[in-house]
Structure 1
Amino acid sequence: MMFLRRPVFVYVILLLSFFPGSAVWAQDSTWGVLPAQWRLQDCFDYALQHNITLNSLRLSRMSSEQDLLLSKAARLPDLRGTASQNLTGGKSLAADGSYPYRIGAAGTYSVNSSVTIFQGGTLLYDIRQKQLATQVAALNIAQQVNDLTILITQAYLNILLAKENLVYVNDVVTTSAAQVQQGQQRYDAGSIALKDLASLQAQLANDRYLLVTAENQHRQNKLSLKQLLQLPGGYNFEIVAPDTLLANARLLPLQEVVDTALANRPEVKNSELGVAISSLDLAKAKAAYWPTLSGNGALGSSYARDPDNNYFKQLDNNFYQQIGLTLSVPIFTRRVNKTNEEKSRIAVDQSRLNLQNTRTTLSQTIEQAYINVQNAQSQYDAAVEQLKYTQESYRIATEQLKVGVANMVDFLQQKNLYIQALQNYIQSKYSAALTIRIYDFYRGVPVKL
């Protein structure tokens, strides 16, 4: 998969070349070819081929291309052929003074053509407008790819987080079960009170509840990714965990990332093209004040049933040719042209406001991403230190429990502090990993784990 670097639309065009024929996997109906394990890149590739919204935007782009072809063809002359054949019945005065009923046949045949020679530049403006609309359609695809990339990355990391949390909670449950077994033996020997054994059993029940919660969260996170990828129902899969997960990175200066994003992000280019399109609407509205000059030509013939002239002779005698020019000058349009011009000016101002809002929103979003990275990395560093000390305290308390010198209240408190620190560590690690990748993605760095 290619992610969006500069210029954005070059990559979009390359992505479109793979649609719809060169799918990495077969259609969803062939479930057997879907992989059992997915890397993050596999998720990106599959979404590029199968995401319904993306494919719908691709169809919209194809429709825009057809509009462009139609706009270019408007400069060409048209050609229309017409033919009519009539039978006429009625009474008419004959030479002998009678009124017999007669049936007559007649026909006309013609070929007509017309072409717009000058229309104030409207045709050229329309062609340019349709070209920009095609670029907008491509940028819409690029923007959707960006949105999908972030959503899939977030869902993928959530699954990794849940899997790692599941491993640790499993270890905690195993340790708690061993502690209950040891406590039972010591209670049977009379070395601890029943309330101490009950405390250990309650802690085991609580740890098992945490395990069930972790398993449910893991299943829910997998479902979220499955829905994003629009995978078929009933299909089970696993994701591949990376060997290492970068949770710390050197941050580029905020303004540098903002400048890069403003110059390359598809939403900004889309808004810029919106200004250009509305400006062409204004130019077309002004062109309506100009006269329209068109050329036309026709070839035709006709015949009527006549005993003295046969069919082909009449067609030859009645054959005509016509060529001419038509000039249409708008003199008074009841303010139609003036209103269209003023509304086009308003649309230009609105598109400029949209561009300003897009730039402002993007800058603020990147600044928030920058703050998120700083916060996440600070939390991760603090969580690492917190886990280090609570793990050591829990280890000491566990050893004291084994030799029977631990206070049960202090032991359980140390254990709960350890579990909380462990969960904080896992959460902060994946939060830091996600925020780093989102921030880098705004400056055009492909998402990788």
Structure 2
Amino acid sequence: MAQKIVRALLFCCYCLPFSGNAQTDTTLAGLPQTWTLQQCIDYAKQHNIEVNTLRLAEKTDQQNILLARAAKYPNLTGATTQSFTNSQNANPVIGGFQTQSSFASNYSLNSSVTIYNGGYINNNIKQSEAQWKADQFNTAAMENSIILQITQAYLSILLAKENIIYLQDLLSTSQAQLKQGAIQYKAGSISRLNFVGLESQVATDQYNVTTARNTVRQNTLVLKQLLQLPSGYELQIIQPDTVATAPKVVETLDAVQQQAHDTRPEIKNSQLGIDIANYSLEKARAGLRPTLTGSGALSTGYSDNQSSAYIQQLDNNFYQRIGITLSIPIFNNRIGRTNVENAKIAIDQAKLNLKNTETTLSQQVEQAYINVLNAQAQYDAAVTQLNTNRETYQISGEQLRLGAITSVDYLLQKNLYIQALQQYIQAKYNALIGVKVYDFYKGTPVTID
């Protein structure tokens, strides 16, 4: 018996890892093998936790709209009571006490409807609808923020991968020169110092390639975490054949700022914040006005103490009531007036929030514009620097082959070329990211074509 138990436990332990892997495979089943930028954006908009949290707030708003609209209609409440009474009562005829039992039933319907309450219901409906629209714009603003983060992370990976390509080419060149140097060293054409310098350069180039690969892994992790992908998933992005360089001409700052103010969801959200505050003011003012309410009730009952039949009693005891109640606020310890004043303050605060949002957006667009100008100027300078250093590097390589310069002089030119190359790649992607961000503020979708 003990052996059977041990075998069963071992079998369960053996099966547990496979069930975990099956669950992980199910989670990763719908994910693409390689990702384009658009796939990353679409996935984040659909699965991001913060975005989905805001979408749940939108669903709550929709329920609040239905609740606000329902307040215009009458309510209806039904009630029934079934009671049994058992008591001892004095008998004046024969004396003493006797036990009496009775059964009774009561039925009622009650309804009320608000006829007038100073416009509170209508303003509450409008406020609920405005809140729903505001939360939709809030969700869109969050999506925009995530799109920019994902775009920057995606392009950072492309930058690092392109850097690897150039560094691997340099490594191949260094390895070829080392082989040639070994032949020259054995023949006595170069010194030991020059040969060791070539070995050192190969080691340095290998280190640079390794560092670039580490950068790709780190940047990929950043994108993976932005997408909130499972830890066990290996993210691979699609490397485009070419990455478009930044255009030389961009729209003027004033034009893009105006487009951003007209289209950006954070502005529309803040504008609706003023509308919401105005509706709150009208609701507060409604608290100072009379309220007219209609009500009605139907009820009947039955008791076995009566000799009449059940249906007859329900008919005899049938009760109807209809009425109108007018409630006029006269004095409520300044609660109503305070609510009105606080609502006015909330309107001023909402206006300040809009002003702050407009100012912040204008500053962001202006900063993006300056970033574009700076990045384009830096890119132009980097192109010139790269071309000059490439030519010098190529000439130095030929001179080294002919023995006209030492390896030390050659390595100096090569390091300058590597530095210029890395600055060029960085400047190219900085210019591209700058333009993408700047165009995004005016409503242009992000692409890398």
TM-score scaled by structure 2? 0.91
Code of the residue aligned with 2:87 in structure 1: it is: G
* CA 1:130–1:307: 2 relative to 1, 3 Å: closer
Distance (Å, rounded) in 1 between the aligned partners of 2:81 and 2:328:
33
Distance (Å, rounded) in 1 between the aligned partners of 2:53 and 2:318:
53
Distance (Å, rounded) in 1 between the aligned partners of 2:78 and 2:153:
61
Code of the residue aligned with 2:391 in structure 1: it is: E
Deviation at 1:208, TM superposition (A): 1.2
Match of 1:217 in 2: 215
Match of 1:13 in 2: none
Distance (Å, rounded) in 2 between the aligned partners of 1:54 and 1:361:
22
Deviation at 1:307, TM superposition (A): 4.7
Match of 2:318 in 1: 319
Deviation at 1:140, TM superposition (A): 1.5
**Two-structure CA RMSD over aligned residues (Å):** 1.5
* 2:381 paired with 1:371: no
Code of the residue aligned with 1:82 in structure 2: it is: A
Match of 1:412 in 2: 411
Written as runs of structure 1 = structure 2, the 5 A alignment for 1:192-271 is 192-249=190-247, 250-271=249-270
Code of the residue aligned with 2:165 in structure 1: it is: V
Deviations 1:216-259 (A, max 9, x none): 00111112112222223322243223333232321111000001
Code of the residue aligned with 2:216 in structure 1: it is: H
Match of 2:309 in 1: 310
Match of 1:170 in 2: 168
* CA 1:166–1:338: 2 relative to 1, 3 Å: same
Q: Among residues 84, 88, 93, which one is paired with 2:90 in the alignment?
A: 93
Deviation at 1:96, TM superposition (A): 2.3
* 2:165 paired with 1:191: no
Deviations 1:68-96 (A, max 9, x none): 01100011000000111211221112232
CA contact (8 A) 2:245 2:432 kept: yes
Match of 1:10 in 2: none
CA contact (8 A) 2:371 2:434 kept: yes
Deviation at 1:37, TM superposition (A): 2.0
CA contact (8 A) 1:91 1:99 kept: yes
More displaced stretch, 176-185 vs 270-279: 176-185
Distance (Å, rounded) in 2 between the aligned partners of 1:155 and 1:310:
84
Distance (Å, rounded) in 1 between the aligned partners of 2:231 and 2:172:
34
Q: Among residues 49, 54, 59, which one is paired with 1:52 in the alignment?
A: 49
Match of 1:346 in 2: 345
Code of the residue aligned with 1:76 in structure 2: it is: Y
More displaced stretch, 114-123 vs 306-315: 306-315
SS at match of 2:26: coil
More displaced stretch, 227-236 vs 354-363: 227-236
Distance (Å, rounded) in 2 between the aligned partners of 1:247 and 1:302:
86
SS at match of 1:111: strand
SS at match of 1:238: coil
CA contact (8 A) 2:194 2:406 kept: no
Report the count of equivalent residues: 423
CA contact (8 A) 1:288 1:337 kept: yes
SS at match of 1:113: strand
CA contact (8 A) 1:28 1:231 kept: no
* 2:169 paired with 1:156: no
Distance (Å, rounded) in 2 between the aligned partners of 1:149 and 1:35:
19
* CA 1:242–1:429: 2 relative to 1, 3 Å: same
Match of 2:10 in 1: none
More displaced stretch, 392-401 vs 406-415: 406-415
Structure 1 unaligned residues grouped into runs of 5+: 1-26
Structure 2 unaligned residues grouped into runs of 5+: 1-23
Q: Percent identity?
A: 49
Distance (Å, rounded) in 2 between the aligned partners of 1:298 and 1:438:
65
